[in-house]
C-alpha cells in the first residue's frame, strides 16, 4: 500500500546536537511538507517542497533545515540552533496540480522528539 | 491569507448522541476546506473535503460537513457517536484557484466520548 513512512518514531537529542528525521513516501506525490505540532497550537508549517531540489520556508523555519534530493524523500534536520525542539513532527505529501489550488495532504505517523 | 478558527478546545459527547464540531474560516474567495482526525500518537487522516458544488459533503466513518458561505463555516457532524470516535479533529482551509497553495490548520478540537 502507498503511504508515508516517518522514522524513527521516538528520538532524543542532546544539547548541541543536530538530529535528522526521515520521511519517505511512495505515493508519487510532488509536494512534501514538514509540520511541528505542540499541544494546543495545532500544526505549524516548517518547510515545504513542491519539486525535487527546491524547497521553501514555512512559518517557523528557524533552527531547521531540509533537503529534497529525491522525489520520495524529504528529511528534516533539527539543528542545535532550535532551542525548544521538543515536539511531535509530522511529514505530509500531496499532489501538486498547477490548476487545482490546495490539495488534500497525506500524513505519516509522526516522530516525537525530546531533549535529554 | 486564509485562516481558520476552531472555537472549542474540548467537547464531551455521550456515546450514541449526535456531534457537531465548529469551524470558521477567513478567506476572500471560495476556499478549499478539509476535516482531519488524529488519534493519539498518530498522523492525521482525511475525513472529508470541500472544493465546490454540493455544500453538504459526505466523508468516511459516517461524518458529514456543511459549507455555509454566509456564515464562513464548515461544521463537522455525525448523527451517532461511537467510542472509537474519541480523537482530535482539525479543520483546514486552503486557497482555491491555480497554482500551489498551502493549507492552514486550526488548533484542533479534542472529542471525548462518555459511556
Does A61 contact chain B (CB < 8 Å)?
no
Q: Higher confidence at residue B62 or residue B99?
A: B62
Q: What is the pLDDT of residue A98?
A: 60
- Three state DSSP letters for B74-85: EEEEECCCCHHH
Do B88 and B111 touch, CB atoms closer than 8 A? yes
Q: Residue A60 has what DSSP assignment?
A: S
Does B108 contact chain A (CB < 8 Å)?
yes
Q: What is the pLDDT of residue B77?
A: 98
For residue range B27-57, what is the model confidence (pLDDT) as tens digits?
877 788 999 999 988 999 999 999 888 899 9
Q: State the average pLDDT over residues A76-84.
A: 92
CA of A102, closest CA in chain B: separation in Å?
Answer: 5
* Alpha-helix residue ranges (DSSP H) falling in chain B: none
Residue B80 has pLDDT above 70, yes or no: yes
At B57, list the grid cell.
459533503
CA-CA distance, A51 to A90, in Å (whole number)?
A: 19
Which chain A residues are within 8 Å of B50, Cβ to Cβ?
none
Which chain A residues are within 8 Å of B95, Cβ to Cβ?
101-102
Residue B95 has pLDDT above 80, yes or no: no
Does A13 contact chain B (CB < 8 Å)?
no
List the single residue in A58, A96, A101 with the smallest CB-CB distance to B97. Answer: A101
Helix, strand, coil share (%) of chain B residues, nearest 5? 10, 50, 40
Q: What is the pLDDT of residue B99?
A: 63
For residue range A4-58, what is the model confidence (pLDDT) as tens digits?
999 999 999 888 899 999 999 999 999 999 999 998 888 999 999 988 999 999 9
Contacts of A60 (CB under 8 A, 6+ apart): A36, A44, A45, A46
Amino acid at each position: 500500500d502507498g503511504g508515508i513512512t516517518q522514522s524513527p518514531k521516538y528520538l532524543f537529542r542532546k544539547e548541541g546536537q543536530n538530529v535528522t528525521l526521515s520521511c519517505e513516501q511512495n505515493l508519487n506525490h510532488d509536494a512534501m511538507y514538514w509540520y511541528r505540532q505542540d499541544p494546543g497550537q495545532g500544526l505549524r508549517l516548517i518547510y515545504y517542497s513542491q519539486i525535487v531540489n527546491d524547497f521553501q520556508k514555512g512559518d517557523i523555519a528557524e533552527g531547521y533545515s531540509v533537503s529534497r534530493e529525491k522525489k520520495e524523500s524529504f528529511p528534516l534536520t533539527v539543528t542545535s540552533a532550535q532551542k525548544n525542539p521538543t515536539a511531535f513532527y509530522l511529514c505530509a505529501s500531496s499532489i501538486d496540480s498547477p490548476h487545482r489550488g490546495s490539495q488534500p495532504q497525506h500524513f505519516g505517523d509522526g516522530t516525537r522528539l525530546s531533549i535529554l | 491569507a486564509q485562516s481558520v478558527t476552531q472555537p472549542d478546545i474540548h467537547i464531551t459527547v455521550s456515546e450514541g448522541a449526535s456531534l457537531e464540531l465548529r469551524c470558521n474560516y477567513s478567506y476572500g474567495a471560495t476556499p478549499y476546506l478539509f476535516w482531519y482526525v488524529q488519534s493519539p500518537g498518530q498522523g492525521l487522516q482525511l475525513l472529508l473535503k470541500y472544493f465546490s458544488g454540493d455544500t453538504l459533503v459526505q466523508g468516511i466513518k459516517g461524518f458529514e460537513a456543511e459549507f455555509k458561505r454566509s456564515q464562513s463555516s464548515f461544521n463537522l457532524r455525525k448523527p451517532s457517536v461511537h467510542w472509537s470516535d474519541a480523537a482530535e479533529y482539525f479543520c483546514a482551509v486552503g486557497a482555491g484557484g491555480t497554482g500551489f497553495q498551502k493549507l492552514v490548520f486550526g488548533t484542533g478540537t479534542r472529542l471525548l466520548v462518555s459511556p
